[in-house]
Amino acid sequence: MIEEGSKSSKSMVEKRQLFMEMRAQNFDVIRLSTYRTACKLRFVQKRCNLHLVDVWNMIEAFRDNGLSTLDHNAEINVSRLETILSSIFYQLNKRLPTTHQINVDQSIGLLLNFIVATYDSEGHGKLTVFAMKAMLATMCGGKILDKLRYIFSQISDSNGVMVFAKFDQFLREVLKLPTAVFEGPSFGYTEHYTRTCFPQQKKILLNTFLDVLMADPPPQCLVWLPLMHRLANVENVFHPVECSYCRSESMMGFRYRCQQCHGYQLCQSCFWRGHASGPHSNQHQMKEHSSWKSPAKKLSHAISKSLGCMPMGEPPHPVFPEAAERPQDLAHTTTLESPSRLDEEHRLIARYAARLAAEASNSTQCPPSDLSFNFDANKQQRQLIAELENKNREILQEIQRLRLEHEQASQPTPEKAQQNPTLLAELRLLRHRKDELERRMSALQESRRELMVQLEGLMRLLKDEEQKQATQTGSSPHSSPSHSASCTMPMPIRSTSAGSTPTHTPQDCLAGVGDDVLDAFSQGVPRNLRNDLLVAADSITNTMSSLVKELHSVDDGLEEEECNMRNGREKAESE
């Protein structure tokens, strides 16, 4: 009798231990019931180490313990529940590293007492299979999308359509969790919740179910469920912002920004407790932030959004095929030991083989089903989204690189303020030399043009004189060597008055031309002045070529000096 009394008192202490620790956290000071409920259930989840068990590991544990083949309304006793919890936590320790092992016995005791207090408050020592599945699938770790998919597989029929009676049963069981943490007045079960969640829909498929439960906001009776998952995601998020009430220089978790008071932000502790200061009021609308973005990141995000590099709004969940298989149930993979179960397994295998054969025969006659089409379309959409995300990341990186280059180029450097005086002097000297050579080149070009004009006039004079002599002697002008020489060197034709009066004497025609020309014609045998003028023109051309080469060398020197100065600036900036 004494031992039984001590065991009973120990059991009572263990039952109260979790709730006493939860009360010590002082969650009741949180003003909003949604946050208060989510925080309490998150505490229970972490204290029992359920956050370390993924939903897929939980489904595997259901299969290994033979729960997938049991009816939802079947009852299991507390001893079998303890066996199931033991397998869950011992398998968890096998997956965890040795440095992060958990206390299995303590986790089993805390979770067992919480489940019994939640679902067996009258002390019958039994609970239904569906209640245990709903509770563990809701409180374990993992993504809310995977949890809702598993829950839908438990409350839908063989055609993938939700059964309203089963959904009502799910609400009845899952809403016992807020009641267990003393939030029943806010989130207790009522009969009208089922139609409140789906007021108009009659045929609820998987995608519709996910749309409703993952909407923003979700149904009021389950608003704490997505918040509990958001709490888990922001526990280690850091915001380098000062709280406008408690003046803490940084925030952890959620951050709340007032939509009316400019620059007014609160940490989650101050917002949950309803603190306000200055012109801010608790009646103002607040926006919840679960991450921190720097001003530069906000700018790049806005630019990418305006350029259409990223989608304006993402769907809350991927679109699943309407007639998809339900692998979450895993009923046909359970280990079957008795002969009756072996026979059942054989019948299931035979039925499955017959269905595969029927599908194979119909595939040659019928077009692809909507299922395969939806699956391929969904796969293509995921691939397109992945490609767009990669392209978006590349564009954001390029924008960041250009911004850094612009900032570096706009910053003043000592080399820009204080240049090397020697290099500047040499650069000015080279530029002066270049201007001087350009002026000389222009003068030589003008001289060459004038000589060409004079050469043209003299050629006309020579031609007229040869024609005159040929007329007097009766010979052909083409026999003159000077004329043949003139034909081998074509010259530009230019209108001039020289040679327009062939009746004049050579002295009259050559007046003012030059001493060499006068001497040549006065001797009777004309000198080859044409060749002399051509030689002079060639000399001028050679001089201009040398000037051009020197001008190019000056340009090369200028470019080399500028390159040296630029390299010097870059080296100084890098140092």
pLDDT digits (tens, 9 = 90+) for 359-386: 666 555 544 444 455 556 667 777 778 7
**pLDDT number for residue 73:** 93
Task: Please choose, from the candidates 177, 216, 218, 179, the residue with its C-alpha nearest in 3D space to the C-alpha of residue 197.
Answer: 218
At residue 129 the predicted structure's pLDDT band, cuts being 50, 70 and 90, is very high
**Are the C-beta atoms of residues 256 and 265 closer than 8 Å to each other?**
yes
**pLDDT number for residue 296:** 56
Q: Which of 277-291, 510-524, 526-540 has the lowest mean pLDDT?
A: 510-524
Give 402-418 pLDDT, tens digit per residue: 878 777 776 655 554 45
Q: What is 80-108 written as a DSSP string? A: HHHHHHHHHHHHHHHHS-GGG---HHHHH
For range 70-92, the mean pLDDT? 94
Three-state helix/strand/coil letters over 375-426: HHHHHHHHHHHHHHHHHHHHHHHHHHHHHHHHHHHHCCCHHHHCCCHHHHHH
For range 276-281, the mean pLDDT? 89
Query: Cα dihedral sign for 430, 433, 439, 443?
Result: negative
Higher pLDDT, residue 104 or 451: 104
**Are the C-beta atoms of residues 551 and 434 closer than 8 Å to each other?**
yes
At residue 488 the predicted structure's pLDDT band, cuts being 50, 70 and 90, is very low
Beta bridge partners of 266: 256
DSSP-derived secondary structure letter, 319: P
**pLDDT number for residue 77:** 94
Higher pLDDT, residue 170 or 544: 170
Tokens of 156: 């839908």
- 103 has a pLDDT exceeding 50: yes
Using CA atoms, how far apart are residues 513 and 213, in angstroms rounded to an integer?
109
Q: What is the largest CA-CA distance in the chain?
A: 166
pTM above 0.85, yes or no: no
- 243 has a pLDDT exceeding 60: yes
Torsion (CA) 38, 44, 47, 51 in degrees, nearest 10:
-60
